[in-house]
Structure 1
Amino acid sequence: MASIVTKEISYEELKALLGKSQNLLLVDVRSKEEVDKGHIPGSIHIPVDKVEDAFAKGPEEFKAAYGVTKPALDAPELVFHCQMGRRGGVATGKAHELGYANACNYTGGYKEWSEKEGK
């Protein structure tokens, strides 16, 4: 099996998407304790160890669990992030395995976001 190259997105690209896209689904894969200390506005929380189960759910079950519409497999704007990039990469890989071809990882994570946003 060929290894999947994880698509990555920069702070600037994410900031632009947050400003203009109605279709962006930003998934924070950190622990609840980390999210409670701060998060990127508009993100939903699905811990990294739950990503595979979450994205395997049916649309109604996904919406009931997370309060947002489950993205289509070809959704152009599905972004995962964690604190510094590693868990986001793992989650992005799982999404790719499930067929989300355009899923990408915000490699700077919440650490970079909070530094650039002055939080």
Structure 2
Amino acid sequence: MGNPSTGVTTMKSLIQILVITCALLAGPLWAADSISISELKQAMQSGNTPIIIDVRDEDEYLAGHIPGAILVPAKNVEHHLDMLEKYQKEEIVLYCQSGRRASAAATTLENAGFKHVKLLDGNFPGWQASK
């Protein structure tokens, strides 16, 4: 029989590797920082409006959107990076209906070098409820 302490050490090492691997693969669900609706409204009222991007589909955007929001559907964000490049150093706020598409778009922008990407807490339903 082998040394029992060797098996324990090997098992601990395997568990550590597994935990680290899971953490790296999972990553944060919401990569970007967030901004509250009240913070966004305050910025808009003070003249410091960030770039607001609606990542919903066109029909959702046309049915209602945050004033001044630019429509860039989440499924097309990577195809519009050239157009968005001029905003790379500015604060960008993304929103959708539930947060899923905005989070995916935030990851795409962050991977392309955008440093000031935020997700709107409550997304569009929260904005509508705050009127």
Residue 21 of structure 1 deviates from its aligned partner by: 3.6
Q: Runs of 5+ in structure 2 lacking a partner?
A: 1-23
Q: After superposition, where does 1:84-95 map in structure 2 within 5 Å? A: 84-95=98-109
Return the structure number with greater helix share. Answer: 2
User: 1:45-73 deviations in whole A, cap 9, x for unaligned?
Assistant: 00001111212x1xxxx28xxxxx831x3
Structure 1 equivalent of residue 89 of structure 2 = 74
How many residues in Structure 1 have an aligned counterpart in Structure 2?
105
Structure 1 equivalent of residue 3 of structure 2 = none
Q: After superposition, where does 1:95-114 map in structure 2 within 5 Å? A: 95-114=109-128
Q: Runs of 5+ in structure 1 lacking a partner?
A: 64-68
Residue 23 of structure 1 deviates from its aligned partner by: 5.5
Q: TM-score normalised to the size of structure 1?
A: 0.77
Letter of the 1:47 counterpart: P
Structure 2 equivalent of residue 41 of structure 1 = 67
Structure 1 equivalent of residue 44 of structure 2 = 18
Letter of the 2:67 counterpart: P
Match of 1:83 among 97, 110, 114: 97
Mapped partners of 2:86, 2:48: distance in 1: 14
Residue 17 of structure 1 deviates from its aligned partner by: 1.7
**CA contact 2:43–2:49 (8 Å) conserved in 1:** no
Q: TM-score normalised to the size of structure 2?
A: 0.71
Residue 41 of structure 1 deviates from its aligned partner by: 0.4
Match of 2:77 among 34, 51, 56: 51
User: Among the aligned pairs, what percent are the same residue?
Assistant: 29
Mapped partners of 2:89, 2:69: distance in 1: 19
Residue 22 of structure 1 deviates from its aligned partner by: 4.5
Larger Rg: 2
